[in-house]
Amino acid sequence: PEFLSLQGKINSSLLEAIISKPLKLTTMSSVQAEVLPMLPRLIEKTVDGTYLDLLVKAKTGTGKTLAFLVPTVERRLRSIEDAKQKALKSALLKEDTRLEAQAGTAFARQNIGALIISPTRELATQIAREAQRLTSHLPQFETHLFIGGADKRTQLRGFLRGRRDIIVCTPGRLRDFLISDATVADAMKTVNTLILDEADTMLDMGFRPDIDAISECLPGPEQRQTFLFSATVPMKVRQVADMYLHREHKFINCSPDESLQVHHHVPQFYSVLPDDRSQIPHLLRLLALDQLNNPGTSKVIVFLPTLKMTQMFATILRSLGRKVLPTGQTTKIYEIHAQKRQTDRDRASSAFRRDSTGASILITSDVSARGVDYPNVTRVVQMGVAPSVEHYIHRVGRTGRQGSSVATRGDIILHGWEAGAVKTSLEKIPLQPYTVAEAQAEARQLASEYDQNPTKFMSMPSQRHLFGEGLERRLGTIEPEVSRFMKDAPEDAVTGMFLSLLGYYVPRAGDMMIDKFAMYNGLRQWVANSFALPSPPYASQRLMQTLGLIDEGGNRRNKRVDRPWSRSGHGTRFNDRRDNRRDDHRDNRRDDRRDDRRDDRRSSRFVSDGRRDSQPRSEPWDRRENTSKSGTWRPRSSSSYGASERQPWR
């Protein structure tokens, strides 16, 4: 159906914002077509005096935000109008413009129209912007945004002084307000509509205790209306629905076939690396192929599993991309992760969203994986196995968005020891093999075609000088440039990334059908070979006990492990690091205690990195003049960092 069919069912100002400026929409998406035609009945009380609650299952990128914003705003406008009529009736008047205005303003300042809870700052910000666009023809309507990374006092001041039409928030920041400010807690008792967006992601990220604490401050399910939107509806989501929705709620399934959760119109490929050193060159070739296949329109998102790895690869691509990619010096690298300040994340997200240069690449952790809308993305590349099939789906969902007019594709790059995931956790995904050799051949052929006739290769005259000259020769320098660049990587930075990857991968070894020690040694060898380390990094016994790699009894504590622990001797060293030092028991114990204290500090960072990317952390290094007289790298104390961005190395 078309949005014009809502004429007479919703406020004329709302309809104008939808069909003209600023939204300019004509036809409803599948989820909008299921929800919006239910107006106005959806926002009216039922026979038993309650409102109809909704549990909606819909894929990402299908217009869910507008599906819940339109009925939410419409109900708010009607509630304010009811308050005006009630004031007139109490004053025994039929009409009084001044009294109506006062009553409407008082009601809007004392009652919260809608509380929208979203799992990430980026998605919450996007929802708030969409709400502002939808209500652009309602000048007095106000939307408040409660998210971390922004000034609390400013957010609270705006809430206390203004109208309370819509509040969009993340669970952590709202719970913080409820604990620290009694006024906010009291105001929550007046919420008319509760919306839980991306409910499955909130539960995956561990926000269930926060949601439960927030719900204790809200009216009961019978006194409010609740919409729960989710891309998947596993048992844990159904349990939340049973607790927060009215027992007579309506279930709307916009994606009946689970396999349709992945956008089938997006071709998806997996590459198993033949060796450790080919990972970064293969990633660079995939980026080059996207620019060659989409000249002037290329727009790529690269997802990485941990914060540390996101920082590392952003630095690598920022340096190497300008040397070896077709777009050369015009290549734009955007970086988003929890280490960056919220203002910087918002700035990068907005800039990438608007970017139309055909040379843009977003390097991000999972903070951008869910719900955030980036138009006209041509390719999504995932480095390593996703935490779950749902995460894979939502990452791929950043391309092939509704209304996209460009060719799209999804790629996932796997180590050899990760390849089993294709037949286990990802077996229902329509993945096709794409080898490193195939990428090399395709890139070489396209580059040769461009060098021979740039005019024929480019469809628009303005694009003919986008790639420059000698493209085939430039792509042939990828391996040497990568090898040369990796030799300068600081070992401390690489070790920090290794620890974060341990925390990410080891807990998932069972799901991936991989032996934990094989995974541990695979990570060690990949880091050592890719970054030209003199020897593989290691983890202490306590760290490995935390990860469940070794048990606590019967084995000697040792700071370096290359194989299961042995009872013999006072400490087992790496085979490639044997020396002639005396094996003194007391020295070993002292060294181990020192190593354990250091790894305890590291583990507090890497465990958080492995679980979810949601809280800011300090970087352990940067490359300002931070060397000793011998030129070696040394970590800097967290207190010495400024507010500016730090990178692993430049």
pLDDT band at 368 (very low <50, low <70, confident <90, very high): low
CB 520 within 8 A of CB 627: no
Nearest to 118 by CA among 142, 143, 136, 137: 143
For residue 555, the model assigns a pLDDT of 52
Q: What is the pLDDT of residues 19-31, one digit of tens each?
A: 999 999 999 999 9
Higher pLDDT, 78 or 61: 78
For residue 68, the model assigns a pLDDT of 97
Q: At what angle do helices 307-324 and 279-293 cross, to 10 degrees?
A: 60
Amino acid letter, residue 306: T
Say what the alpha-carbon torsion angle 102, 103, 109, 110 is, to the nearest 10 degrees.
Answer: 140
Interatomic CA distance for residues 425 and 265, integer angstroms: 21
> In the predicted model, is pLDDT for residue 349 greater than 80?
yes
Q: What value does the mean pLDDT take over residues 164-193?
A: 94
Phi and psi, residue 506, nearest 5°: -60, -45
pTM of the model: 0.62
CATH fold of 260-459+466-488, please? Rossmann fold (3.40.50)
CATH fold of 30-253, please? Rossmann fold (3.40.50)
Nearest to 531 by CA among 210, 276, 180, 263: 276
Q: What is the pLDDT of residues 100-147, one digit of tens each?
A: 999 999 999 999 999 999 998 888 999 999 999 999 999 899 999 999
Spell out the residues 6+ positions from residue 283 whose beta carbon is closer than 8 angstroms to its own: 302, 313, 317, 381, 383, 413
Amino acid letter, residue 489: A
- Tell me the two tokens of residue 324: 């070896």
Higher pLDDT, 363 or 94: 363
Q: How many beta carbons lie within 10 A of that of residue 437, not counting itself?
A: 10
Interatomic CA distance for residues 113 and 166, integer angstroms: 6
Domains 30-253 and 260-459+466-488 share a fold: yes
Domain boundaries, the chain: 30-253, 260-459+466-488, 491-547
pLDDT band at 649 (very low <50, low <70, confident <90, very high): very low
Higher pLDDT, 518 or 461: 518
Among the residue ranges 303-312, 315-324, 475-484, 598-607, the one predicted with the least confidence is: 598-607
Distances (CA, A) of 158 to 115, 143, 218, 317: 16, 10, 21, 40
pLDDT band at 615 (very low <50, low <70, confident <90, very high): very low
Interatomic CA distance for residues 375 and 401, integer angstroms: 7
For residue 519, the model assigns a pLDDT of 85
Distances (CA, A) of 551 to 207, 284, 487: 31, 41, 36
Largest CA distance in the chain: 100
pLDDT band at 406 (very low <50, low <70, confident <90, very high): low
> In the predicted model, is pLDDT for residue 16 greater than 90?
yes
Higher pLDDT, 563 or 273: 273
Task: Report the percent of the chain where pLDDT is more than 70.
Answer: 80
For residue 433, the model assigns a pLDDT of 94
Gyration radius of the chain over CA positions: 28
- Tell me the two tokens of residue 243: 């607790």
Alpha helices in 269-412 (DSSP H): 279-293, 307-324, 342-354, 389-396
> In the predicted model, is pLDDT for residue 402 greater than 60?
no
Alpha helices in 8-90 (DSSP H): 12-19, 30-35, 64-90
